[in-house]
Every structure is written in C-alpha cells, then in structure tokens.
Structure 1
Amino acid sequence: MLKKLSQFTLALIGLTVLFSSCKKTYDSIQVVDGKKIQDYITANNLTVIEDSLKTGYYYQILNPGTGTALYSTSDSVLYNLSVKGLENGTVYWASSLNGNFGTLGGYTNVLSPVDNTIFATVGVTAIRDVILRLKPGGSARILLPSYLVYGKNGSGTVPSNENIDMTITTAPEKSQIALDDRVINDIIKKNSLTMIKDPSRVYYSISTPGTGTDKISLSSTVIANYTLRFADGTVSQTNVDGTFSAVLGNLGVRGWGDVIPGKLTAGGKIRLLIPSDRGYGPVGIPPSLPKNAVLDFDIEIVSVTN
C-alpha cells in the first residue's frame, strides 16, 4: 500500500512539474507599455522626464511659456491638445483655433475632445501635473501608457491598449475674452477685412444695409441665408435657400441680436465675427460646433416679420 502510494505521489509530482513547465507567463500591461515607451524614447532620441510618482508617463517641456508665475490649481487655463498613437503616429483628434479647453488648473485632468466627438471622457492626472509646470503660452509633450488613458477598451478609433503621444499648448491669454479677441483680430488681418467692434465685442461689417421698410428688433422673425465658418476658414454650415427662420432674440447665437437690430432691414447683408461667449460658449453643440469657438458668419436678411 505504501509502495503504491509512493508511486502515485511521484506520478502526481511529475504531472505538476510537466504542467508548470508548459504554463506560459504573461507580462503585465504596465511592463508591456513601459517597454514600448522606452523603445519609442530611444528610437526617437527624446529627452524626457519620468513623472515623480512613477505612475508610468514621461513628459518633455517644449516651451515653458512666459509670465511671472506658474499656473496654479485655481488659475484659469486655456489650452489645446493633440492625441496620437505612440507607435503608429495616427492623430486621433486635435483641438485647434476652432475651439479650446478652458477651466481652472485643478480641473485640467479631464480628457474630453473639444468638439465632443465619440471619444470617451477620461481622467488623466498627467495632463494637470504637466500643465501646472507651464506658464501661459507654454507647451509640453506627454508619453502616456495605455492604462493611464483609454485602457484595454480603447475609445472611438483609438484601439485597445494604445499608448498615446500627447501635445499640450497653453494660450498666452488667461481669459477667454482676450483669447477670442486675438483670434478675431487674426481673422481680420489674414483676410484684410475692415470691421467695426460693437460694445458686445462682436465685430461686424455691413456690405448692404437693405431696402426693407420694417425695422428689425429682437422680437422680429427673420428669414435669413447664412454661411458659418470657423476661425481657420473651414465652412461649418450653410443655409442659402431661404428656409432658415427664427425670432432674433431666441437664437442660441446671441451675436446676431447684439448687432443686427437697427442696422439692417430686409435685403441687408452683414458679416459677423462673434466671440465664443456670444456664440455657443464653453459647451458648444456636439459634435459639429466646438467648445469656445469664435464664429464667422455671412448673413443675408431675406424677410422680416414684426
């Protein structure tokens, strides 16, 4: 009996050793991501800094910015982001002059596309950590392991376990009003426009005041043709078939009502450069109208009803 038991025990030990030798070990995602990022740094000869808490990301200050003080968690920060794949270089999304993020420094850890597209909103502490190292007008690069961004599920067109190469650029201005005014003046200069600045901070140019007899007020119903462009000249919307009708004072774009009453009648044509707070503000209209976007309108008043 003891002999049989010993043989059984030896056989069991042998099977255990056999199965153990056949078992494949897998590296954790932290190890896998870390190796890919290190290989990327080496291949591109990058000079980067590992984050002080060693959570897995690396950063490089491209331009420290200017000013007398660093950002703090209570400072207003205006910034743009680009997000691309570390290995494949695919740009998944990027904010630009057409819109920007604007929040207090302590809340910049939220990663959400400026145009509210299909990409998920996630918390990325690295963004806040690096932004707080910059001054206004500064920029930085962050190499993010997948587990600190979209993880194993990915998001939108970002695949599973995708490491991210991110660029952050902060605006020289610390208020959205000042940033909007610079963007508008850049449009004017680029296109050699002659514009008047309304007290509402909307810039306008009237090409035809109109020949109608009905005066326009905020309570007027107007039928209008219009073309909407973004700051980079991209056409966002057109409606030129006389089907757009609205009470002027009820429009989401308050910039129309700021300028048009008393200046145009039916047949009038005007160009408006509207700062973001007189447009769709910090929310925008997803997915086509970005947050904090300056709006460039060409408008023709077709008819007026009072």
Structure 2
Amino acid sequence: MNIREMGKQGLKSSRIGLGCMGMSDFYGERNDVESIKVIHEALEKGITLLDTADMYGIGDNEELVGKAIKAKRNKVVLATKFAIVRQKGETARNINCSPEYVKQACEASLKRLNTDNIDLYYMHRKDPKVEIEETVGAMAELVKEGKVRYLGLSEVNAQTLRRAHAVHPITALQTEYSLWTRDVEGEILDTCRELGIALVAYSPLGRGFLTGALTSKDDLAGGDYRHFNPRFAEENFQTNMAMVEEMRIYAKNLGHIPAQIAIAWVLAKGDDIFPIPGTKRLKYLNDNIKAADIKLTKEQVEKLENIIDTKKVKGLRYPAEFMNTVDL
C-alpha cells in the first residue's frame, strides 16, 4: 500500500484507509470478532489509517478499535472525532464544540481507545453556537499537551476552514466524496489545496450503493439506517440504480468490480485525497484494497462522471434534518 504525506505538517498515511463506523452502528448486525479480523487484515495488507468517532455506537466503536490495535498501535494512524453527542436509547443528536467539551471528549476517547495519544483528531461537525476559533484553540491545547498529534475538521465550508487554519494548522478535512457526491469540488477542495490540507473522503462507495450489490431496499437489514436515507427511498432507488447498473457494466469491461472502480475514481482525483471505505467483511476489505492498483485514465474518469451524473442523482445525501449540520 502506497504511503503518502497527509497534509503539510508531517503526518503520513496509507493511500486508502479503513472506515470503522459500520462495524458498530448504522449498518445492521454487529460481529465484533469478524470486525477485529478485518482491522488486523487491513493492517497486514498495509492500511495504516483507521477512522472512528466517539458517536459511532456511542463509544462502542472506539472501544472495538482500541481492543483491535492494542498490540499494534505503532502500525496505526489513529483518527477519531468529537462534537456529535448521542445518548444510548435516544435518537436525538446535539452538537457540542465548546472548549470544555473538546477536552472532556478527548479524555473519554483516549480511555476508550486505550492509548495515550490520538494521531488525527477531528471536529466532527461545527457547532453554530461556538466560534471556530474557540473550538480549534482548545484542540490546539491538546496538541501542546501531547494528547493529539494533528488536527482535522469534518464537513465545514471554505471560510470556516480558513479561520480554523489561522488558529492552528489543519492537516485534513473529512467530507463525503464519491462519484455521486461531489459537493466538495470547487471552493472547498481549492481551499484545501491552497492551504496544504488533505481531503479524507468518507463514503466513497455511496454507502454501498455504488458497489452494485444492492438490487432493492429489501436487501437492507431491518436496523440499517439507509432505510431513512433519501437516495435509498422507493421514489429514488430505481433512478439511481439505473446509473449504477451502467457503471457496473463499464467496470466489468475494464476488468474490475464497481466498488474498485468507485474507489479508483476518488484516488484519480488527486494524490492529496484519501478514501476511507468502510466494511466489516474480509472479502470486501480485500476487494477495496485492490483499487489502489487501478490507474484510471483521464478519459475513463470522465466516462465515469458521465455515467454517474450528479445532476441526475435523486435524493439528498442525508435526511433534511441532518443537511443543516454540514457546510457550516
């Protein structure tokens, strides 16, 4: 696995990371034993970047990752996040980025992850009640204390990114980025490149839609949160699936599966972009890793962008009530 500099502050990471969220939350049944095997296999295959957050499983995912890397910490670029506050048994979510909460959340994450430092610490969402300078100022203190090595933000706009970077260098911006979600292209990505900030692309497989493995909503488990995602809604599903089917045929002609082509497209968009496809199954992990060896031509990239035309994608990328927490 190719190791590249992430940002301009010295952090280095594998070209592809592993998103661990679905191992504990949102995507149906959990299997911690297999999930730990997936993490171990990822590390053996050269993936170094593991991505989690304190809200995934309401702390459970950090504990899982901490358990998996206990004897392998020196192999891992460990990334986690704070800001989204959930309570067990409740569906409500709040955003808290106060300086006091930043430090409280970090201490809790360190304990769950069973480590004395976090390599990359993200603000998961911006708190509209707190100025970004206050939040990043508190995060910068964690760096001085040695509890955090590098700072990141998630789902913020270009102006917020600039203001944050003026307080303390930001190493990475994490946002959704895939063939059918390209909102970051333009001002935000241009700002990242101007400031030397890496882009970490979550959901590069469109929450599984771009794998071509789904044929209807009936393929989703009962507890799968995609039942509530607009792009998976009955009125949007078939329109979106028609584009994915065309992509599947194109990928087959190239000698690959759709998931690999979808990840390869993200990789082709720049050496400063690091996709973190999530999976809790060994087969899918190994399929995803092979995408690193695919080099798409400019013509192939353009062809894929024509097949998955963002103007034709039906549905918001999040339910409406969550869309107001992004691009702040």
Give the TM-score normalised by the residue count of structure 2: 0.22
Higher helix share: 2
Higher strand share: 1
Greater RCO, 1 or 2 (C-alpha within 8 Å, sep 6+):
2
Give the TM-score normalised by the residue count of structure 1: 0.23
Give the greater-gyration-radius structure (CA): 1
